[in-house]
Structure 1
Amino acid sequence: MAKPILDDELWALIEPLLPPPKLRRTRYPGRKPLDNRAVLTGILFILQTGLRWDLLPREMGCGSGMSCWRRLRDWQAAGVWEQLHEVLLARLRAADQIDWSRVIVDSSSIRAVGSGPKTGPNPTDRARPGSKHHLVTEAQGIPLAVILTGANRNDVTQLLPLIDAIPPIRGVRGRPLRKPQVIYADRGYDSEPHRQQLRARGIEPVIARRRTEHGSGLGKFRWVVERTHAWLHNFCRLRIRFERRADIHEVFLKLGCTLVCWNIFRRTEQSF
């Protein structure tokens, strides 16, 4: 039996977060709206396979690709994925799976088909159009926040925005986690002004310095964020950016992070 694209437990978390359907007219009600679960199944299928929207199989029962695209856009505007991410982070913290001893930041460049907002010449790909995924994780690699920019943006410019983008992590009684104590980063984030700003916030920066020998030992801690990038790129839609609209690609990024959190949470449950 094939593994379902959207399992019942995850759907039970997502369904209460979705906005209520629009009221239908009584005299001319029109076509009945598509079922939310079927539409979300189609969206996840596009995320996993990387297919074009117009190639979405009708046999799946999720309507046309454009219907799924419009529903994805509307759910993004309603903040569904940010809420789902916070719910999953809270569950992970309640299961004692959040290691707040440090956070790690890193970026990954991808090719963009065509141009559009938040694209730029990729210096690692012969100046072809590209985008960059900036990611911050906790000590075990659980994604906390992600930002999309053009591929020509320097990593250090997104260091402070990534810290600001970390959502409050609840799950236990008391103050939610928000500000990390230590941040690890590679040489791309080497900047004395940024170190000073982090210390002013009460965060200790552990950042490799340029023009120094390798072997600082930071790789023993930073590899987890590279693994998380690899997890995200297992979703074919995140390996290459096909969307001209930046907000749609950002939706897929956030959805990918929530699925990574969900997979980690499920493994945690199965280990008990």
Structure 2
Amino acid sequence: MTDEVVLEKVTELVPDGLWQRVQPLLPQRPPRRFRHPGRLPRDDRAALAGIVHVLISGCTWGQVPTEQFGCSGVTCWRRLRDWTQAGVWPQLHQVLLDELRAAGKLDLETAVVDGSHVRALKRGAHTGPSPVDRARNGSKHHLLTDFGGVPLVVTLTGGNRHDVTQLLPLVDAFPIVRGVRGRPRLNPRYLYADRGYDYDVYRRALRERGIVPRIARRGLVHGSGLGRTRWVVERSFAWLHQFKRLRTRYEVRADLHLGLLQLACALICYRKLPVS
């Protein structure tokens, strides 16, 4: 395969605008030795394209076509490991959130929270028997979005953890988003959630943080009207699970699966930026 075709494939998965935002966040490599420098490292952009390819297609790392990206799946996995440990994905997410707010694409006054179960095919941290999947091994994605469904914070737990256990961790991790003049918002004003979060102790905790809880009550008939707002987080999960690698957890290491989750959130934010 020619270099032009490889470059076209890499640019398709990692556009110039995305790469310009990612490149400054990547950790610096140690200087090469003078006498025994070894082989030249593979291009970072090509490795990122391989990671995005796995995230979108759901293929295994061994199935990454080396001839299309100029690097192997093992190299892509190692870069994912190194960049996850360096905190590249949360930094990229923060940069894109700042740009979205500057463009008027964020509504941080209202936040919505929910959780979603995925099956875990291997053991590892943050896995457990899921009560909604016949006690099969699984994990949960917990997501906090703005009023329009833009992902703000994502966490990972075992499939046996209750959704409400991540309510306060998600709220406390609410990002300080800049991009406009004035003091950044530290908390949303309103928080919407479904009946799984219906506990008065958590309502009190939210009010102590200056947040007005809008949580559906258990035991009441449907039709509270909260669904007109809460549906946006369900759509956000649909966006996340369009990345086939996230529909099922294949990674033994929880930090790598969470890193892919954070990268997917960043890609969703990038796609929402206005075309320049």
Choose from 45, 51, 54 the match for 2:53.
Answer: 45
Aligned to 1:34: 42
**What is the CA-CA distance between 1:264 and the residue it aligns to?**
1.1
Aligned to 2:238: 230
- 1:181 matched to 2:185? The reply is no
CA distance in structure 2 between the partners assigned to 1:200 and 1:120 by the alignment: 32
- 1:118 matched to 2:126? The reply is yes
Helix, strand or coil: the match of 2:275?
Answer: helix
Paired amino acid for 2:189: Q
Q: Verify the 8 A CA contact 1:185 1:208 in the aligned structure 2.
A: yes
**What is the CA-CA distance between 1:101 and the residue it aligns to?**
2.6
Query: What are the ranges of 5 or more consecutive residues in structure 1 without an aligned counterpart?
Result: none
Helix, strand or coil: the match of 1:206?
Answer: strand
**What is the CA-CA distance between 1:105 and the residue it aligns to?**
0.1
CA distance in structure 2 between the partners assigned to 1:120 and 1:247 by the alignment: 16
Paired amino acid for 1:21: R
Query: What are the ranges of 5 or more consecutive residues in structure 2 without an aligned counterpart?
Result: 1-7
- Give TM-score scaled by structure 2 length: 0.94
**What is the CA-CA distance between 1:20 and the residue it aligns to?**
1.3
Paired amino acid for 2:93: H
CA distance in structure 2 between the partners assigned to 1:211 and 1:224 by the alignment: 23
Aligned to 1:168: 176
- 1:55 matched to 2:63? The reply is yes
Choose from 200, 208, 211 the match for 1:192.
Answer: 200
What CA RMSD, in Å, does the superposition of the two structures yield over aligned residues?
Answer: 1.3
Q: Deviation per CA, 1:237-269, whole angstroms, max 9, x where unpaired?
A: 00000001100100000000000101111xx33
- 1:201 matched to 2:201? The reply is no
- 1:4 matched to 2:12? The reply is yes
- 1:16 matched to 2:33? The reply is no
CA distance in structure 2 between the partners assigned to 1:22 and 1:54 by the alignment: 27
- 1:84 matched to 2:98? The reply is no
Helix, strand or coil: the match of 1:146?
Answer: strand
Q: Verify the 8 A CA contact 2:140 2:158 in the aligned structure 1.
A: yes
4+ long deviations beyond 4 Å = none
CA distance in structure 1 between the partners assigned to 2:47 and 2:93 by the alignment: 19
Q: Verify the 8 A CA contact 2:49 2:69 in the aligned structure 1.
A: no
Aligned to 1:269: 275
Q: Verify the 8 A CA contact 2:112 2:193 in the aligned structure 1.
A: yes
Paired amino acid for 1:231: W
Q: Verify the 8 A CA contact 1:49 1:237 in the aligned structure 2.
A: yes
CA distance in structure 2 between the partners assigned to 1:60 and 1:32 by the alignment: 18
**What is the CA-CA distance between 1:62 and the residue it aligns to?**
3.8
**What is the CA-CA distance between 1:115 and the residue it aligns to?**
1.5
Helix, strand or coil: the match of 2:156?
Answer: strand
CA distance in structure 2 between the partners assigned to 1:104 and 1:181 by the alignment: 11
Choose from 149, 163, 170 the match for 2:157.
Answer: 149
Paired amino acid for 1:159: L
**What is the CA-CA distance between 1:167 and the residue it aligns to?**
1.7
Paired amino acid for 1:128: R
- Give TM-score scaled by structure 1 length: 0.96
Q: Verify the 8 A CA contact 1:43 1:69 in the aligned structure 2.
A: yes
CA distance in structure 2 between the partners assigned to 1:52 and 1:33 by the alignment: 22
Helix, strand or coil: the match of 2:238?
Answer: helix
Aligned to 1:241: 249
Paired amino acid for 2:275: E
Helix, strand or coil: the match of 2:169?
Answer: helix
